Structure 1
Amino acid sequence: MTLSALTMEKQKIRLGLCTLAVSLVALTLKMLAWWLSGSMALLSDALETVINVVAASFALAALHISNLPPDLNHTYGHGKVEYLSTVIEGILVVVTACGIFYAAWTHWKAPNTDLAAWQGVMFNALGGLVNLVWGLTLLRQGRRINSPAVIASGHHIIADVWTTLILIIGVSLIPLTGFYRLDAILSALIALNVLRVGFSVMRASIAGLMDEVPDPASLQKIAEIIASHGGGALQAHDIRARRSGTHYFIDFHLVVPGATRVSEAHAICDCVENALKAHFGPDVTTIHVHIEPESHLLPEGVPIP
């Protein structure tokens, strides 16, 4: 069952506020972990969480803007601001990774031999647990409401959890092995993971900004709906679709018999459009259909029984 646009707006704003609050809690725990331990690796983890806080703030602003109705300057709405928000998040992630690399190199040359690893690990684990619960929640809710910004935040937070798990193991080994440069190595590994997540986030967001087509399954579903609800038409071709935030834009050519009246062709279009909106959501789907005579049949078109 699809959610109404108003319901999705409320849920995205609520998720954005909760993400900001959870990120602040996790940041507090991780900064405390670094302060107690003196570990550069734990500080690097805290710096990554700072990005989560900044990203949550950007996402919240983006969600507010994306919910604004279309206007004279933005006739297709403001949905793409969600992609812009995640691009900014990706850039911040890359900048942070560079800073962590520099700090890791500094601590490699002059390692800190006065670590209180156990205390830091305990508070860092608490921060990781908070992030794990909330990251899984964001992924589930983001897919349910089709929000790229919410899904990106979920992936970023889950990546942070994996970082925390590695750190718990690694930092715990430092006092046992006496290999204090392991702290710098762990920091460098965090930076690499941060870069991986940052590029992944930017890749998905740039694809949205460039109107990359939806996944093949969605396009196949559109073709199936047209074929099964286009009774009276002969064929559909040039089927195209794109997403702008949570909004779908679909257009295609519909070939009808030459003797079809305008009112009959209009009724066929209404039937197809209603079926598509029932599947993707009536409030978040815009459809444009171009009617053509049977002389415009194409070999690669989708036949309509």
Structure 2
Amino acid sequence: MSWTLLHKLTPRHLLMASVAVALVTITLKTLAWYVTDSVGLLSDAMESLVNLASAVFGLVMVTIAARPADDDHPYGHHKAEYFSSGFEGILIIAAALGIVWTAALRLVDPQPLAQVGWGLALSVASSALNGLMAWAMFGAARAHRSIALEADAKHLVTDVWTSAGVVVGIAMVQLTGWLWLDAVVAIGVALNILKEGVHLIWRSSQGLMDEAVEPEVLEAIHQTLAGFADARGDAHAIIRFDHLNTRKAGQRRFVDLHMHMPAAWSLGRAAAVRASVEQALMSAVPGLRATIQLLPTDVEAHFDDEKDLI
């Protein structure tokens, strides 16, 4: 799949595809568990159920995030994607705990496996589907700056590693005859996806708390502003910027700053320069929204005064 095609596919389209893939993999992995009676394959199938629920919830949140700003949400609905990431993390943790419980019971009472060949073939086929879907979603997540797509892609990758671990575990059970190894592999899988769930919840919380933009985005902003600060029309026409703050909300990036310029400038000239700065910032960082307050060179804003902190 080419990068051009990934740019054309919207997050909503990819999440719809993820729902379809989840349904197929659930069917394959459930069949694999049914024919083998392996608790490791059961844990793999349970994680695919989480994939389905996460993809459906992500689809709903991405649809909400795409809504335009309105009177009740003047800054848009972009943060809805963070709810998708947090919800997916919670589901992953719940699935991990369920897997541990099921595996612990099987560890106490190991059971022989049946029709291992068919089970492994079905598991490998489902993993291939998940891997292909994750690859496409990672590319689109970068293109659209979508945390919902990134979360779903990471979960799919976790699912692929889960399946790989289960396949290796079942193969070792067949080679060694150690039936308890099936349950141990399932517990290892659960601990791995538990870590991923905690990470997704953390990412979601940081986004909801107005985390600053990425370092490379901040560097692009500073470089753009430096170009205007160094472009002096005359000895007295010095432009400088301060009180720069950034935040990100889903696919959007926001920057607020003060632009100081000579008090002798007319309002029209000052506004024209500000418009040029805004346009340059939005060209340097796609999806950026800039808010620039104009101030004379000899006027400072004091945000750190005690009265401003009350």
Q: Is TM-score (shorter-chain normalized) higher than 0.5?
A: yes
Write the distance in 2 (CA, Å) between the matches of 1:197 and 1:130. Answer: 20
Q: Does 1:264 align with 2:263?
A: no
- CA-atom RMSD, angstroms? 1.8
Write the distance in 1 (CA, Å) between the matches of 2:192 and 2:227. Answer: 46
**CA-to-aligned-CA distance 1:86-107 (integer Å, 9 cap, x gap):** 1111111111111111111101
Alignment of 1:139-288 (within 5 A): 139-229=138-228, 231=231, 233-281=238-286, 284-288=287-291
Structure 2 residues without counterparts, runs of 5 or longer: 1-5, 233-237, 302-310
For 1:3, the equivalent position in structure 2 comes to none
| Structure 1 residue 121 displacement after superposition | 0.9
Percent identity, aligned pairs only, is 31
For 2:308, the equivalent position in structure 1 comes to none
**Deviating runs (4+, > 3 A) in structure 1?**
7-10, 229-233
For 2:75, the equivalent position in structure 1 comes to 76
Q: TM-score, normalised by structure 1?
A: 0.91
Equivalent position amino acid for 1:261 in 2: S
For 1:302, the equivalent position in structure 2 comes to none
In structure 2, do the counterparts of structure 1 residues 268 and 239 end up closer, same or farther at CA, with 3 Å as the change threshold? same
Structure 1 residues without counterparts, runs of 5 or longer: 1-6, 299-305
Write the distance in 1 (CA, Å) between the matches of 2:299 and 2:148. Answer: 41
| Structure 1 residue 297 displacement after superposition | 6.8
For 2:53, the equivalent position in structure 1 comes to 54
In structure 2, do the counterparts of structure 1 residues 250 and 8 end up closer, same or farther at CA, with 3 Å as the change threshold? farther
Conservation of the 8 A alpha-carbon contact between 1:223 and 1:239? no
**CA-to-aligned-CA distance 1:68-87 (integer Å, 9 cap, x gap):** 11111111111111001111
| Structure 1 residue 27 displacement after superposition | 1.4
| Structure 1 residue 249 displacement after superposition | 1.4
1:212 match: secondary structure: coil
For 1:303, the equivalent position in structure 2 comes to none
Q: Does 1:111 align with 2:116?
A: no
Write the distance in 1 (CA, Å) between the matches of 2:201 and 2:113. Answer: 38
Write the distance in 2 (CA, Å) between the matches of 1:115 and 1:139. Answer: 36
Write the distance in 2 (CA, Å) between the matches of 1:115 and 1:184. Answer: 15
| Structure 1 residue 10 displacement after superposition | 6.4
Conservation of the 8 A alpha-carbon contact between 1:235 and 1:297? no
For 1:26, the equivalent position in structure 2 comes to 25
Conservation of the 8 A alpha-carbon contact between 2:7 and 2:140? no
2:243 match: secondary structure: strand
| Structure 1 residue 8 displacement after superposition | 7.5
Write the distance in 1 (CA, Å) between the matches of 2:299 and 2:180. Answer: 71
Write the distance in 1 (CA, Å) between the matches of 2:184 and 2:252. Answer: 44
Write the distance in 2 (CA, Å) between the matches of 1:175 and 1:116. Answer: 11
Write the distance in 1 (CA, Å) between the matches of 2:285 and 2:30. Answer: 43
| Structure 1 residue 186 displacement after superposition | 0.8
1:203 match: secondary structure: helix
| Structure 1 residue 206 displacement after superposition | 1.0
Conservation of the 8 A alpha-carbon contact between 2:260 and 2:294? yes
For 2:62, the equivalent position in structure 1 comes to 63
Equivalent position amino acid for 1:35 in 2: Y
Conservation of the 8 A alpha-carbon contact between 1:253 and 1:290? yes
Q: TM-score, normalised by structure 2?
A: 0.89
Conservation of the 8 A alpha-carbon contact between 1:9 and 1:67? no
